[in-house]
Amino acid sequence: MTGICADRVVVITGAGRGLGRAHALAFAAQGAQVVVNDLGVGLDGAGASAGPAHEVVGEIRALGGQAVADGSDIATPEGARTLIATALDAFGRLDTLVNNAGFLRDRMLVNLDEDEWDAVMRVHLKGHFLPLKYAAAHWRAEAKGGRMPNARVINTSSGAGLLGSVGQGNYSAAKAGILGLTLVAAAELARYGVCVNAIAPAARTRMTEQTFADTMSAPGQPDAFDAMAPDNVSPLVVWLGSAASSGVTGRVFEAEGGRITVMEGWRPGPTADKSARWTPTEAGEAAVKLLAASLTPQPVYGTQ
């Protein structure tokens, strides 16, 4: 198969369903050899099944592509190492890592248990860090061996990580952490030929089906554009994972329907400098003036 990812080897976590599945199929359609990682767990992370990953591999092969399944728990060092080894053993190289795996344990903060906090942090944040760590170690070794990679990492954040989301304190914190990890990784890995970016997608998946339940194509209009289809996000991810995105690193993109937005993150706004220590009253007066001159923050999801 030919395309902008021809002969590239792409690892995608959480690729058995939803966005990950859409990414896997899109990469394969552009010529990539794909490692489909998925534990096949439920929406809350419980249970496990090899079925989803193998089904996606079957779909790719039926279309003439190349893919292998991986059932490693990428939130463990052993699982993350195995994931990277699977790509190298099956295809002899690694070019792109898409960190996508995740699940939900939604609660209002006063009802959020510590184990629900830890579980979401483990899968989303640690589950990004560990595959990135072992992929980066491979690419560093390649670069030091005189084989400079042209590698890509795409991390998956969320609007909840950018703005917050009521009832999702654990998820929002983890997704915000992924943004910080992306910025650090982009700075640290540039010397090894690795570009690292993040997306904040909005699409209809198991994790968002209640939110987007009413956004299907209108009845009687089967050809209408389905703005919430996961497949709409994948073209940007495929481009970011290709050699064509050279020089693009440390950036965050929102992707929803037919819209792509470059997020500009935290930037200094209005400032005041006394060149001496403020009193509390003075600091308060200065803060009020600065707030009046600043942009109004976007609302937290769930407060509108």
- Structure confidence by residue, pLDDT tens digits, 120-176: 999 999 999 999 999 999 999 999 999 999 999 999 999 999 999 999 999 999 999
Candidates 147, 149, 171, 152; CA nearest to 160 is: 171
Cα separation, 94 vs 85, whole angstroms: 9
Q: Catalytic pick from 157, 158, 172, 234?
A: 158
Instruction: Provide the greatest CA pair distance for the chain.
Output: 70
Active site residue 144: no
Residues 157, 165, 171, 192: which is the catalytic one?
A: 171
Phi, psi (5° rounding) for residue 232?
A: -70, -25
Alpha-carbon span 159 to 114, nearest angstrom: 23
Distance between CA atoms of residues 68 and 37, nearest Å: 9
Integer Cα distance of 274 and 254 in angstroms = 38
pTM: 0.91
Average pLDDT over residues 44-48: 54
The yes-or-no answer on residue 175 being catalytic is yes
Residue boundaries of the structural domains of the chain = 9-263
Would you give the distance in Å from CA 17 to the centre of its chain? 14
Say yes or no to pLDDT of 182 above 60.
yes
Q: How confident is the model at residue 40 (pLDDT cuts 50, 70, 90)?
A: confident
Residue type, 263: M
- Taking only the tens place, the pLDDT of each residue in 193-228 is 999 999 999 988 655 554 444 444 444 456 688 998
Q: Which of 126, 157, 165, 175 is catalytic?
A: 175
**Three-class DSSP labels, 202-239:** ECCCCCCCCCCCCCCCCCCCCCCCCCCCHHHCHHHHHH
* 172 is annotated as an active-site residue: no
Rounded to whole angstroms, the Cα distance separating 93 from 33 reads 10
Is residue 114's pLDDT more than 90? yes
Tens digits of per-residue pLDDT, 51-107?
Answer: 899 999 999 999 999 999 999 999 999 999 999 999 999 999 999 999 999 999 999
Average of per-residue pLDDT values in the chain: 92
Helix 169-189 vs helix 127-144: crossing angle, to nearest 10? 10
Whether residue 252 contacts residue 199, with contact meaning beta carbons closer than 8 Å, is answered with yes
CATH code, 9-263 = 3.40.50.720
- HEC letters along the chain: CCCCCCCCEEEECCCCCHHHHHHHHHHHHCCCEEEEECCCCCCCCCCCCCHHHHHHHHHHHHCCCEEEEECCCCCCHHHHHHHHHHHHHHHCCCCEEEECCCCCCCECHHHCCHHHHHHHHHHHHHHHHHHHHHHHHHHHHHHHCCCCCCEEEEEECCHHHHHCECCEHHHHHHHHHHHHHHHHHHHHHHHHCEEEEEEEEECCCCCCCCCCCCCCCCCCCCCCCCCCCHHHCHHHHHHHCCHHHCCCCCCEEEEECCEEEEECCCCCCCCCCCCCCCCHHHHHHHHHHHHHHCCCCCCCECCC
Q: What is the pLDDT of residue 55?
A: 96
Tokens of 288: 């009020």
